[in-house]
């Protein structure tokens, strides 16, 4: 079988044609290929072609209307963030009043923990995975310190079984049952950044809440990657960035979810700012806040329009295509790449083999991962990323990656690995 011809056939016949032409794909070095095969969308997504025009429109409104653009712009700035509400809710399986786009991911996690991590008596512990993204580890440790607690005693780090690379859902549940009324907060990654494992969000959420804990999720690698049903799964809160699978640009505005049982509970404590007051009375400039019964109550400052414009442009693509269709294509692409990598003798893939237990990512354990990633880009135009010392991550993002890209990545690894 001609493997390259087969990959191109799969691209031509796939039920969801690639949207690659709607994105700006960097050129490949060396001239063998016009464009890179880009597998680093789990770190920074590619730029949608519509983003530049959207930014120009906002700059034009600023130039021609100045302050009046708050109310007279083509997309008035005063309520600009509200345009993101419904598409964001559809993306993560929420109700519109449960989501808000604001700040950055770790800032939002701290705001959520200010409300929902309320240690008292023996219920003080925070449960995270040992392979959590470092920012999450730093955030929960600092929250423990903020409450006068010792992070070494407060933060419980879950590790896989000996000889395994990922956590088993049943083991997480068993830990929560055993820890019982000592757990105040469960905060795990929906898709683990290092291994690409999709956690059992519904089952773990149910177990955490049964233990009396608040359950939050870091969805940095899950939003725009896998279908989510945050409201139906009874998640307490979640936060995610938008520059990875959501393609909104470096440092783009993040978002968060707060379940409606909390947004309707005025007794939930929160850190407040001007934009967290009801817009109906915001411009009365009252000294006392009147928070709305929505996730907007967690906002602090007026939204950065130039940073929100790319998020809105990206969400429109997701709305048009739909997460279910993207997930189905993701499973086809990732499955194809996994089958090609299986033929490389001795290559260890640490991502779960079950498509239902992973997102659009395959993590490979190799020696000198950084050097391999550089050689992939320089010699084959394949862009991946490394997590030192020994993990290479490949993310076949279904919006713009193709079966032919996967073929190129497999062939490059065949050439470069001993």
Handedness of CA 291, 296, 300, 306 (dihedral sign): negative
Give per-residue pLDDT as tens, 210-253: 999 999 999 999 999 999 999 999 999 999 999 999 999 999 99
Task: Decide: 126 and 117 in contact? Cβ < 8 Å.
Answer: yes
Q: Nearest-CA neighbor of 90 among 400, 399, 318? A: 318
- Predicted confidence (pLDDT) at residue 32 exceeds the cutoff of 90: no
Residues of the chain with CATH 3.40.640.10: 75-319
Give per-residue pLDDT as tens, 89-125: 999 999 999 999 999 999 999 999 999 999 999 999 9
Q: Give the whole-angstrom CA distance, residue 364 versus residue 16.
A: 27
The CATH number that domain 3-49+322-416 falls under is 3.90.1150.10
Helix 105-116, helix 134-146: angle, nearest 10 = 30
What is the token pair recorded at 396?
Answer: 């076949």
Q: CA distances (Å), 326 to each of 40, 199, 227, in order? A: 17, 19, 9
State the chain's mean pLDDT as an integer: 96
Residues of the chain with CATH 3.90.1150.10: 3-49+322-416
3-state helix, strand, coil in the chain (%, to 5): 45, 15, 40
Q: Tell me how crowded residue 43 is: count the other CB atoms within 10 A of its CB.
A: 16
Q: What is the phi-psi region of residue 212: left when phi exceeds 0, alpha when psi lies from -120 to 50, beta otherwise?
A: left
Residue 346: per-residue pLDDT: 86
What is the token pair recorded at 81?
Answer: 């963030």
Annotated binding site for pyridoxal 5'-phosphate: 105-106, 133-136, 218, 221, 243, 274, 302
Give per-residue pLDDT as tens, 34-88: 899 999 999 999 999 999 999 999 999 999 999 999 999 999 999 999 999 999 9
Task: Decide: 172 and 158 in contact? Cβ < 8 Å.
Answer: yes
Lowest mean pLDDT segment, chosen from 154-158, 276-280, 397-401: 276-280
Residue 158: per-residue pLDDT: 98
Give me the half-sphere count of Cα atoms (radius 13 Å) on the Cβ side of residue 71: 1
Q: Nearest-CA neighbor of 373 among 395, 355, 357, 352? A: 395
Residue 1: per-residue pLDDT: 67
Residue 40: per-residue pLDDT: 98
Strands (DSSP E) found in 23-171: 23-24, 37-38, 47-48, 99-101, 125-129, 155-158
What is the token pair recorded at 112?
Answer: 């959520």
Residue 345: per-residue pLDDT: 87
Whose structure tokens read 């790449």?
Answer: 337
What is the token pair recorded at 361?
Answer: 């990512």
Annotated binding site: 105-106, 133-136, 218, 221, 243, 274, 302
Q: Is 134 helix (H, G, I), strand (E, B) or coil?
A: helix
- Predicted confidence (pLDDT) at residue 31 exceeds the cutoff of 70: no
75-319: CATH topology is 3.40.640
With cut-offs at 50, 70 and 90, classify the pLDDT of residue 418. confident
């Amino acid at each position: 079988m001609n493997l390259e011809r087969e990959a191109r056939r799969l691209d031509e016949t796939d039920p969801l044609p690639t949207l690659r032409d709607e994105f700006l794909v960097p050129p490949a070095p060396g001239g063998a290929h016009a464009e890179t095969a880009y597998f680093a969308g789990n770190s920074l997504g590619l730029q949608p072609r519509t983003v530049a025009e959207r930014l120009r429109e906002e700059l034009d409104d600023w130039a021609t209307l100045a302050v009046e653009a708050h109310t007279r712009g083509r997309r008035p700035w005063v309520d600009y963030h509200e345009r993101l509400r419904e598409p964001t809710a559809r993306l993560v399986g929420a109700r519109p009043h449960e989501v808000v786009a604001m700040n950055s991911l770790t800032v939002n996690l701290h705001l959520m923990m200010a409300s929902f991590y309320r240690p008292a008596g023996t219920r003080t512990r925070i449960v995270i995975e040992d392979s959590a993204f470092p920012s999450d580890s730093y955030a929960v440790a600092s929250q423990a310190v903020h409450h006068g607690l010792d992070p070494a005693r407060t933060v419980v780090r879950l590790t896989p079984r000996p000889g395994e690379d990922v956590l088993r859902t049943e083991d997480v549940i068993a830990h929560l049952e055993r820890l019982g009324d000592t757990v105040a907060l469960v905060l795990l990654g929906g898709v683990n950044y290092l291994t690409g494992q999709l956690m059992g969000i519904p089952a773990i959420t149910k177990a955490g809440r049964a233990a009396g804990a608040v359950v939050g999720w870091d969805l940095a690698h899950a939003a725009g990657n896998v279908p989510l049903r945050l409201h139906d799964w009874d998640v307490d809160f979640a936060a995610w960035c938008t520059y990875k699978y959501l393609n909104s640009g470096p440092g783009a505005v993040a978002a968060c979810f707060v379940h409606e049982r909390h947004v309707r509970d005025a007794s939930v404590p929160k850190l407040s700012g001007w934009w967290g007051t009801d817009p109906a009375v915001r411009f009365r400039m009252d000294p006392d806040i009147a928070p709305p019964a929505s996730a907007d109550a967690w906002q602090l400052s007026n939204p950065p329009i130039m940073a929100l414009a790319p998020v809105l442009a990206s969400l429109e693509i997701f709305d048009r295509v739909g997460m279910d269709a993207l997930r189905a294509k993701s499973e086809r692409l990732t499955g194809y790449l996994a089958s090609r990598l299986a033929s490389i003798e001795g290559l260890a893939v640490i991502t779960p083999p079950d498509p239902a237990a992973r997102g659009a990512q395959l993590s490979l354990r190799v020696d000198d991962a950084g050097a391999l990633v550089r050689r992939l880009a320089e010699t084959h135009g394949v862009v991946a990323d490394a997590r030192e010392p020994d993990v290479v991550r490949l993310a076949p993002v279904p919006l713009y990656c193709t079966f032919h890209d996967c073929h190129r990545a497999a062939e490059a690894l065949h050439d470069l690995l001993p």
